[in-house]
Chains A and B, each alone.
Chain A
Amino acid sequence: MSTWIDVSALDAIPRRGARVVKTALGCVAVFRTAEDSVHALDNRCPHKGGPLAEGIVHGASVTCPLHNWVFSLETGLAQGADEGRVATYPARVEGGRVLLDAAFLRGRVAAE
């Protein structure tokens, strides 16, 4: 059962940018693309732990600010020659508000 919770207005996140949401289990990065779709991913690059929310967002990808690994915002998979995956969480926009699935966020450690 999904438990959608309202975390903020969409406008609080810059286009082609991200903000973080703090949870008891670490930070989740919420990305907003140029087309206004939102994606929630762990804010941690699997390579050296870089904060993905600080990266450059292009298309539906983000480039880690530490060593330029590129991840798909949709699948969390590393692009190109790099290997690795960032956990992704359901996220959507409704009436200009960003909604995340709290049940998913809570269950993520168990799922790993």
Chain B
Amino acid sequence: MKQKLIVIGAGMASGRVLEHLVEQAPEAYDITLFNGEPRGNYNRIMLSPVLSGDKTYDEIVTHDDAWYADHGITCRFGERVAGIDRAARTVTAPGGEVLSYDKLLLGTGSNPFIIPLPGHDLQGVIAYRDLEDTERMMTMDAGKRVVVIGGGLLGLEAAAGMAARGAEVTVVHIMGHLMERQLDESAGFLLRRALEDKGITVRCQANSKQILGQDGHVRALQLDDGTELPCDLLVMAVGIRPNVALGADAGLAVGRGIHVDDQMVTSDPDVLAVGECVEHDGAVFGLVAPLYDQAKVAAATLLGQQAAFVQKELSTKLKVTGCDLFSAGDFAEGEGREDIVFRDPARGVYRRLVIEKDVIVGAVMYGDTADSNWFFGLIRDKTDIAEMRDTVIFGPAFQGGAPLDPMAAVAALPRDAEICGCNGVCKGQIEDAILGGATDLGGVRAVTKASGSCGTCTGLVEQVLAVTLGDEFVIPAAQGICGCCDMTHEDVRRMIKSQRLTSMPAVWQACDWKTPDGCHVCRPALNYYLLADWPLEYADDPQSRFINERKHANIQKDGTFSVVPRMWGGITTPDELRAIADAADKYAVPTVKVTGGQRIDLLGVKGEDLPAIWKDLNDAGMVSGYAYSKGLRTVKTCVGTDHCRFGTQDSTGLGIKLEKILHGAWTPHKLKLAVSGCPRNCAEATCKDIGVVCVDSGFQVSIGGAAGMDVKETELLISVPTEQEAIDVIRAVTQLYRENARYLHRIYKWMALVGLDWIKERIEDPTERAALIERFEVSQSIYRHDPWAEHVTKQADTYQPLANLSLEAAE
């Protein structure tokens, strides 16, 4: 005899239970299906494609009227069950009709969570939950303004859908980055950028205060800081809560959700529950995969078969066109956890694997998620990845084959091959150091000094170590900032920004420094990072600067200094030249030389004479030339249109303007510019950090040149028609360099890491360019000054000896 089964709720979970039942045992139950919504089962997770217009409602229906009819299911749609009497095993329909059951299945789903902000009951404030909400949002076409509260999966899908219809959408998110439960900061940032590219405004760390209305209809959302975001529709997508009311009223055991065991049976053996309304082993569910697992188990239980629901690792994908995003497992940092991170900023690709004991426990991917299932499999199956650790981040295509051995080339080098050019160390010396007991980079460096200067040969030295030591040596994934800290420069910078570290002790603490106050390697770097990131908050620390910057002059081999007054754009006057000559006479300067950057260098000035010679030069109208600084040095120029028959623009004038705008700007390394008036390039602009070549049509701005330890030609950043735009681009790219490059990396080294295209994108985007310029000017409001004048008036005495005991000793 057929038993009676009543199902309450036609959601994705209960729909799947019905499928299993009618497939396996169509004769087992007489089924009645209640649903509050006036329709049957449809694929709720496809509502976002419906919203964005990629699909229609008909396409996402999973069971139509014919299906229910074919399987003899009685449908009572649009009827909300009034109550359950478990003792009598009956269900009361809204009209008062009482139906008896042998088995009851609850699939009541969840309710969207509405923040009880003042004004939440205004018209036009909705959740994003069902087809009605979706249809409501679909009326928000071009020109309508929408605010979405909630930067999670649901909120972003809603936002993207409405933006695709032409609405002006702002997402307000309380956390520091989007989808913080599924994504780390980096991926959150990329996602934000992609959404902003779609025209969606994103406000993170934004706290909603109240919803403002007019004539009973929503008018705007007001944030804590007073900002008002006008809107015609306000969508709250801040989370869901299991809908337990019916179950609780019936006296079932309820926690956050309706309690179920591994067989999906509630505290009443005749009542089962599946989907978002349940709580299993402390967990509640919002994603579809576990719901389907539950459905399978519930069907088996109803058919008297053995089955058990097991919670599994979950993965998330965002269904927004153009935002390829995947997250699975646990990506939180923790003890014993290691990261493998792959970034390709130019392509907007980011991958991060979190590994614990050679097993991947979490993965976050953005931009290219083609391999996500493979990674998910590794997480789910707890695969040991020790064997493929070096290449696992590149995905399945790179596993299994025989990768080229990068060590072969180093192994083949002869013993007398030079490895470290700075210190003249050859391979044989490094091998000897290793045989003598050095087992790591630090050990080799201590004995041979190899890689101890500019560091460009670090990789080679590591490879010699690897070849010589074999398996005993593992090339470190990333080089720490120095012996004081294992974190890389990039990680330290990220910490400074994300944790708002505004002092050196805060950095030492947060980044686990092993020394009490750093060393000569890390302190200047930290000092730079802090003043670059927090120009207004951070006080520059002279004791963490090299002597050249601390004393605003270049130290020479005999302990004397060289003094270089600024000559804007290379222009000087007879008066200035006379003042320089007088100063040279007065302070017995042994050498007067023209520098490579078209300035005059007074070499051999005694340390205690510095304030006096500066004062004389200041009095003649000259200021410090910063020839000592990791900052703007000079802007070299040719004569351009003033005198030259080929000159196309006023290159000297532009050089002067640039030098006045940029002077005093601290940068990761020295910054040299040049402006040439025509492609003959007399100012040699194409081997400078930033070069401008004036042409008939305007100005070619190129970056990444060098003529130091490496010789590099610049690459074209942008061609612009006006002088003002050239100046803007240069301010913006200088700021981008300041904010992102590693200390002591010149632009060409930074460019090799991030790619010219990445820099171009930032500079070409008008919003980013403007923001960079604004931050540049904020910093320059503090740092664009003359340190000579300051030291002459405030601390000239510190240049004198502390005491003079020579007389005392002579007595």
Contacts and interface: CB of A to CB of B under 8 A. Distances in A.
B520 A68 contact: yes
B447 A81 contact: yes
B478 interface: no
B168 to A, nearest CB: 54
A102 B517 contact: no
B515 interface: yes
Nearest to A65: B547
Contacts of B806: 22-24
A58 B809 contact: no
In which size bucket is the chain B interface?
20 to 34
A39 interface: no
Interface in B514-567: 515-520, 523-524, 542-544, 546-547, 550-551, 555, 557-559
Nearest to B807: A24
Contact of B802 (A15, A30, A48, A50): A30
A92 B558 CA distance: 30
A21 B542 contact: no
Contacts of A98: 802
Given A22-B806, A24-B809, A55-B547, A63 B519 contact: yes
Nearest to B443: A81
A64 B798 CA distance: 19
B801 A50 contact: no
A25 B515 CA distance: 35
Contacts of B803: 7-8, 21-22
A21 B802 contact: yes
Given A51-B559, A55-B520, A81-B446, A19 B805 contact: no
Given A8-B803, A24-B809, A81-B449, A58 B517 contact: yes
A27 to B, nearest CB: 7
Interface string A2-19: 000101100011111101
Contacts of A105: 805, 809
Nearest to B810: A24
Interface string B216-236: 000000000000000000000
Contacts of B559: 49-51, 54
Contact of B546 (A16, A56, A80): A56
A7 B133 CA distance: 81
Interface in A41-99: 48-51, 54-59, 61, 63, 65-66, 68, 70, 80-81, 98
A56 B544 contact: yes
Contacts of B449: 81
Nearest to A98: B802
A13 B446 CA distance: 32
Given A54-B551, A58-B520, A63-B519, A102 B543 contact: no
A34 B805 contact: no
Contacts of A106: 809
B804 interface: yes
B805 A56 contact: no
A65 B546 contact: yes
B467 to A, nearest CB: 23
A15 B505 CA distance: 14
Given A8-B802, A19-B798, A20-B801, A48 B543 contact: no
A23 B805 contact: yes
B808 interface: yes
Nearest to A63: B520
Given A16-B517, A16-B543, A7 B558 contact: no
Contacts of B445: 81
Contacts of A63: 519-520
Contacts of A102: 805, 808-809
A34 B516 contact: yes
Interface in B414-462: 445-447, 449
A56 B802 CA distance: 18
A58 B519 contact: yes
Contacts of A20: 801-802
Contact of A49 (B515, B520, B558, B804): B558
A48 B517 contact: no
A25 B517 contact: no
A25 B803 CA distance: 14
Interface string B493-517: 0000000000000000000000111
B801 A14 contact: no
A81 to B, nearest CB: 4
Interface of B: 445-447, 449, 515-520, 523-524, 542-544, 546-547, 550-551, 555, 557-559, 607, 798, 801-806, 808-810
Given A12-B802, A56-B544, A58-B519, 16 more contacts: A15-B543, A16-B517, A16-B543, A19-B798, A22-B806, A23-B805, A34-B516, A54-B607, A58-B515, A58-B523, A59-B519, A65-B546, A66-B557, A70-B519, A70-B520, A102-B808
Interface of A: 5, 7-8, 12-17, 19-25, 27, 30, 34, 48-51, 54-59, 61, 63, 65-66, 68, 70, 80-81, 98, 100, 102, 105-106
Closest 6 interchain pairs by CB?
A63-B520, A19-B802, A56-B520, A16-B543, A7-B803, A54-B547
6 contacts: A22-B804, A23-B806, A54-B547, A54-B607, A59-B517, A63-B519
